[in-house]
């Protein structure tokens, strides 16, 4: 959510930003907010005047009563009662205007950074740089579900019976490799100075609307029936929500955290889920990184965080590339975002494994997260980035370390988490 002062003072900039996001249907919201804000400020001024008048009259009543002029005091009391009634109506009007403004403000996209490429969707994202050689071996790499099947490592049929499409069982060495990736990612972030956390896996609606747009919420979140609780789609949600309504001391910034959680997503709009594979599923596990910092430091942290993802995947012998997300591919709260994509030697193309974003003070405004300075309280900036999301990272790992005989090389950094094993040998 942007500062309403920006809409008051520079509505054309806000409208131009909406156009860059290809959301022209939201343009009328700007003028509606300006008109409602004008009415709201008039109502507040009227309320202030009424309260001031009431205070003066109340003092008169007190003086009259002291001087035994009860009848005159009673006449003024009737006026005070009328003012009280007017105040009730006026406060109701203020509340109505404030709510109408908030509803519209929550739909206005954040102001994107000047460096963001302009485009309608992910097909117009811009490749920035590649890291590692995208090798295509001289032998066929099977589909990842077929690779896993050779290790008796995947059971989607049973998961279909217990839970439905989009769920899975991982078994044996594959399950262990899956957890090894997560454990390594955790330690990688700890060794880079981040504090490890395990957050709640359910959050209330006020936190959900504080960390994401309504469109994202509808497409992603699972609602717990009969309760004001949602299953998290990423631990960023509950990690940022942890600071809701808090004033952080300036000396505590930056706050750098890395969190583990299962993630639950409806995947609405994904045009159905793959029956065989693990690329798009309703439940997965993820290690996330989150930073709360001063506004002047947010872009530096954005660059540091994306580099951490690149370094992590390269340590797993997985080639990656960085794509800057275009304006139309970014969620409304984001200022700037990039995807890190891993190389798929089977498909001979890259696919998304990480998403790094700075959201400016949008989440902080919605949730009331500020930091204390000698000049007063200011909103923090929030950033998030995927460290590792499985099973997508697992898919990249299997394909990039697959041998002609069907075995899988275990990268050196993972071997301590796999009991010293250097290779997985298929059972079939």
Mean pLDDT of the residues in the chain: 93
Three-state secondary structure along 34-58? HHHHHHHHHHHHHHHHHHHHHHHHH
| Protein fold of 122-424 | BirA Bifunctional Protein; domain 2 (3.30.930)
Average pLDDT of span 344-351 = 94
Check whether 271 has a pLDDT greater than 50.
no
4-105 to CATH, choices 3.30.70.20, 1.20.1600.10, 1.10.10.10, 1.10.287.40: 1.10.287.40
Question: What confidence score (pLDDT) does residue 232 get?
Answer: 94
Lowest mean pLDDT among 45-59, 188-202, 207-221, 315-329: 207-221
Percent of the chain with pLDDT over 70: 98
pLDDT tens sequence across 367-388: 999 999 888 899 999 999 999 9
Q: 251 pLDDT band (50/70/90 cuts)?
A: very high
Domain ranges in the chain are 4-105, 122-424
Question: Token pair for residue 205?
Answer: 């609606």
Question: What confidence score (pLDDT) does residue 268 get?
Answer: 59
Question: Token pair for residue 229?
Answer: 């609780």
pLDDT tens sequence across 282-329: 999 999 999 999 999 999 999 999 999 999 999 999 999 999 999 999
pLDDT tens sequence across 102-113: 999 999 999 999
Q: 275 pLDDT band (50/70/90 cuts)?
A: low
Question: What confidence score (pLDDT) does residue 425 get?
Answer: 94
Return the ∠ at Cα 120 (arms to 278 and 123), rounded to 5°. 45
Question: Token pair for residue 279?
Answer: 């690329």
* pTM assigned to the model: 0.88
Average pLDDT of span 134-160 = 93
Percent of the chain with pLDDT over 90: 81
Average pLDDT of span 242-249 = 96
Highest mean pLDDT among 277-281, 361-365, 389-393: 361-365
Q: 345 pLDDT band (50/70/90 cuts)?
A: very high
């Amino acid at each position: 959510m942007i500062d309403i002062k920006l809409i008051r003072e520079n509505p054309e900039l806000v409208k131009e930003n909406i156009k860059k996001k290809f959301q022209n249907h939201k343009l009328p919201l700007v003028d509606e907010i300006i008109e409602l804000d004008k009415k709201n400020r008039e109502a507040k001024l009227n309320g202030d005047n009424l309260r001031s008048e009431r205070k003066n009259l109340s003092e008169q009543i007190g003086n009259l009563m002291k001087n035994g002029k009860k009848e005159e005091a009673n006449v003024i009391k009737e006026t005070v009662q009328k003012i009280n009634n007017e105040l009730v109506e006026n406060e109701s009007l203020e509340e109505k205007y404030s709510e109408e403004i908030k509803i519209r403000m929550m739909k206005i996209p954040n102001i994107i950074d000047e460096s963001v490429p302009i485009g309608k969707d992910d097909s117009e994202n811009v490749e920035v740089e590649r890291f590692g050689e995208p090798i295509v071996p001289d032998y066929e790499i099977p589909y990842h579900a077929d690779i896993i099947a050779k290790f008796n490592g995947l059971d989607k049929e049973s998961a279909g019976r217990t839970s439905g499409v989009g769920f899975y069982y991982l078994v044996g060495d594959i399950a262990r490799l899956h957890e090894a990736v997560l454990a390594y990612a955790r330690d990688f972030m700890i060794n880079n100075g981040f504090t490890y956390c395990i957050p709640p896996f359910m959050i209330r609606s006020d936190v959900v609307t504080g960390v994401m747009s309504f469109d994202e919420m509808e497409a992603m979140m699972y609602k717990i029936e009969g309760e004001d609780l949602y299953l998290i789609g990423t631990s960023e949600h509950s990690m940022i929500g942890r600071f809701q309504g808090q004033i952080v001391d300036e000396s505590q910034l930056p706050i750098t955290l890395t969190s583990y959680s299962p993630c639950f997503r409806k995947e609405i709009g994904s045009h159905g889920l793959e029956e065989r594979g693990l690329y798009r599923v309703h439940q997965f596990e993820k290690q996330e990184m989150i930073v709360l910092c001063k506004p002047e430091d947010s872009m530096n942290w954005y660059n540091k965080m994306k580099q951490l993802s690149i370094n992590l995947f390269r340590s797993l012998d997985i080639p990656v590339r960085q794509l800057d997300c275009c304006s139309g591919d970014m969620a409304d709260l984001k200022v700037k975002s990039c995807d890190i994509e891993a190389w798929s030697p089977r498909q001979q193309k890259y696919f998304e494994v990480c998403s790094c974003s700075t959201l400016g003070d949008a989440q902080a405004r919605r949730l009331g997260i500020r930091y204390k300075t000698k000049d007063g309280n200011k909103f923090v900036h929030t950033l998030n980035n995927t460290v590792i999301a499985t099973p997508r990272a697992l898919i990249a790992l299997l394909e990039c370390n697959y041998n002609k005989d069907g075995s899988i090389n275990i990268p050196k950094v993972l071997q301590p988490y796999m009991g010293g094993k250097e290779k997985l040998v298929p059972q079939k």
